[in-house]
């Protein structure tokens, strides 16, 4: 056999073979053409030549010119040998994987499920005036934060002040009358001691004094009432919060019972969720809750149980669970939606592993790799496990682990069962 760069073909059938083989190209050896002659001794030298090229990846174009002494089957075997030798030499050895491991821990958490609800303010009030009157001034607007006792609105006090002045004058008048009645009684008692007037007249004077004092007390009460009515011409905030809505303007007539402002407290909010009847037994015992507002992704706030109303709605088959959340920073907005993450205590012993250790199987199950020591080697072994529930970055394993294994948590993406690994320290 000899190697040549000739492109001619002797017969039509050979030309067809040449056209098929001539489409291949080589990246390392270039375009080679093989002329196969009946010289079997060249096969060994060709194999030795290929053995010297460790990373043979080239393609070969074979031109078989068959003459009187050509061996066509030998030519085809040589062409196949070239391809097989190149493929075999192009497969590098798999490198040893580097992995990080962790030891399973006892799972202290149980099942966790979510419920959706609506945030509501713990305290909200529609404020109406305490007396009828004309709105004289409004000191706040929608969105303003107010403190408890702050004046929000004032009514016109002109008439109320006049009424108070009249009550004050009546009080002064009755006070003078009571003073005069007391003076006359003292004089009558002196005259009665000297026997100048009968005792019955003294009794009449004493009764007159009592009537005058009673009239004075009534006048003073009327004056105090007018003072209270005057003070009620202002509308104070009953608690600290935010003005959610303003429903009046200056000059408008305000009547008792008609809402003028809506005040909402934001220091504490409630999350009302509807719990399915299937979960009623789960919530009879102790559990913890965390609120995740939909308006603020990534924010988790602890919550406490305020009420569990054991009355189910006939149509929905649910009952009310009310959670309280501290909102001193005013992060939560009443009226928006939020999720309640309910965490139940662990009901059975289980092991917890990092979530990164789990691999999803095509059948829907889960598996993980554990590292076993065989002599001086560390070998990765694939193991099927059954998971129960997860919390954060940890997952409870129901079966498949004993607790003493070293579980691969990093570098398990390309591992295969039985691969040798190098265990690196966990960062």
Q: Which domain holds residue 249?
A: 111-151+237-345
Q: Quick one: average pLDDT of 181-192?
A: 90
pLDDT at 92: 45
Helix, strand, coil % over all residues of the chain, rounded to 5: 25, 35, 40
**Are 222 and 292 within one domain?**
no
Residues 221 and 339 in one domain: no
Contact predicate 379/101, CB 8 Å: no
**Domain co-membership, 259 together with 341:** yes
Total structural domains in the chain?
A: 4
Dihedral angle over CA of 42, 43, 44, 46, nearest 10: 80
Q: What is the pLDDT of residues 260-317, one digit of tens each?
A: 999 999 888 999 888 888 777 777 777 888 898 988 888 888 888 888 777 766 676 7
Let me know whether 84 and 102 are in one domain.
no
Is 425 in contact with 384 (CB distance < 8 Å)?
no
* Strand residue runs (E) in 375-424: 377-391, 394-399, 407-410, 420-424
- The residue among 232, 263, 280 that closes a domain is 232
Residue 151 clears pLDDT 80, i.e. is over it: yes
DSSP letters, 258-302, are S--EEEE--SEEEEEEEEEGGGTTTTSS--EEEEEETTSTT--EE
> How would you classify residue 260: left for phi > 0, otherwise alpha for psi between -120 and 50, otherwise beta?
alpha
Give the chain's mean pLDDT.
Answer: 77
Give yes or no for residue 391 having a pLDDT over 80: no
Res. 108 pLDDT band, cuts 50 70 90: low
Judgement on whether residues 221 and 250 belong to the same structural domain of the protein: no
Q: Give yes or no: residues 332 and 249 share one domain.
A: yes
- The reply to whether 258 and 144 lie within a common domain is yes
pLDDT band at 171 (very low <50, low <70, confident <90, very high): very high
Whether residues 369 and 285 fall in one domain:
no
Boundary-marking domain end, from 345, 379, 402: 345
**Residue 261 and residue 243 in contact, taking contact as beta carbons nearer than 8 Å:** yes
Q: What is the CA radius of gyration of the chain?
A: 50
387 close to 354: Cβ distance less than 8 angstroms? no
Question: Which stretch, 82-96, 98-112, 243-257, has highest mean pLDDT?
Answer: 243-257
Distances in whole angstroms, Cα of residue 3 to Cα of each of 56, 62, 66, 70, 103:
18, 10, 14, 14, 63
Query: Are residues 123 and 256 both part of a single domain?
Result: yes
Say if strands 377-391 and 394-399 run parallel, antiparallel, or are unpaired: antiparallel
Count Cα neighbours of 202 within 13 Å in the Cβ-side half-sphere. 14
Q: What's the rounded Cα separation, in Å, for the pair 187 and 209?
A: 12
Burial class of residue 322, CB neighbours in 10 A (0-12, 13-18, 19+): middle
Q: Which of 63, 56, 47 is nearest to 29 (CA)?
A: 56
Tell which wins on pLDDT, 311 or 400.
400
Boundary residue ending a domain (199, 232, 265)? 232
Looking at residue 285, which CATH number applies to its domain? 2.40.30.170
**Tokens matching residue 381:** 């072994």
> Which tens digit of pLDDT belongs to each residue from 10-40?
444 444 444 444 443 333 333 333 343 334 4
Q: Are residues 245 and 290 in the same domain?
A: yes
Asked whether residue 140 falls in the same domain as residue 278, the answer is yes
CATH of the domain at 419: 2.40.420.20
| Segment 114-137 mean pLDDT | 91
* Chain center to CA of 209: 76
Same domain, yes or no: 288 and 417:
no
């Amino acid at each position: 056999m000899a190697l040549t760069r000739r492109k001619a073909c002797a017969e039509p059938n050979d030309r067809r073979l040449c056209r098929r083989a001539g489409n291949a190209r080589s990246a390392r050896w270039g375009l080679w053409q093989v002329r196969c002659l009946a010289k079997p001794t060249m096969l060994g030298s060709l194999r030795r030549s290929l053995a010297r090229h460790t990373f043979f990846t080239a393609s070969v174009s074979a031109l078989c010119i068959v003459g009187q002494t050509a061996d066509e089957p030998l030519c085809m075997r040589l062409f196949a040998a070239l391809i097989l030798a190149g493929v075999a030499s192009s497969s590098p050895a798999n490198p040893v994987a580097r992995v990080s491991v962790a030891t399973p821990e006892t799972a202290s958490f149980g099942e966790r499920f979510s419920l959706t609800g609506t945030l509501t303010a713990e305290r909200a009030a529609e404020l109406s005036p305490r007396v009828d009157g004309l709105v004289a001034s409004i000191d706040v607007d929608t969105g303003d934060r107010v403190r408890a006792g702050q004046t929000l609105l004032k009514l016109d006090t002109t008439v109320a002040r006049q009424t108070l002045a009249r009550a004050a004058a009546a009080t002064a008048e009755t006070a003078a009358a009571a003073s005069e009645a007391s003076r006359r009684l003292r004089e009558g008692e002196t005259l009665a001691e000297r026997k100048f007037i009968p005792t019955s007249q003294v009794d009449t004077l004493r009764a007159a004094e009592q009537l005058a004092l009673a009239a004075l007390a009534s006048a003073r009460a009327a004056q105090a009432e007018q003072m209270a009515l005057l003070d009620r011409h202002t509308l104070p905030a009953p608690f600290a919060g935010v003005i959610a809505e303003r429903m009046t303007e200056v000059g408008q007539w305000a009547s008792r019972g008609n809402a003028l402002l809506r005040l909402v407290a934001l220091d504490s909010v409630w999350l009302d969720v509807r719990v399915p009847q299937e979960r009623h037994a789960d919530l009879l015992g102790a559990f913890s809750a965390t609120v995740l507002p939909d308006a603020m992704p990534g924010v988790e706030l602890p919550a406490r149980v305020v009420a569990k109303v054991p009355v189910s709605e006939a149509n929905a088959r649910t009952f009310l669970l009310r959670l309280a959340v501290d909102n001193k920073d005013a992060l939560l907005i009443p009226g928006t939606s939020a999720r309640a993450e309910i965490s139940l205590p662990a009901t059975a012993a289980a092991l917890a592993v990092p979530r990164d250790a789990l691999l999803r199987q095509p059948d829907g199950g889960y598996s993980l790799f554990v590292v076993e020591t065989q002599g001086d080697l560390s070998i990765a072994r694939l193991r099927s496990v059954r998971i129960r529930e997860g919390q954060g970055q940890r997952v409870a394993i129901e079966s498949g682990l004993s607790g003493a294994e070293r579980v691969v948590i990093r570098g398990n993406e390309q591992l295969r069962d039985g691969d040798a690994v190098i265990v690196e320290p966990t960062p």
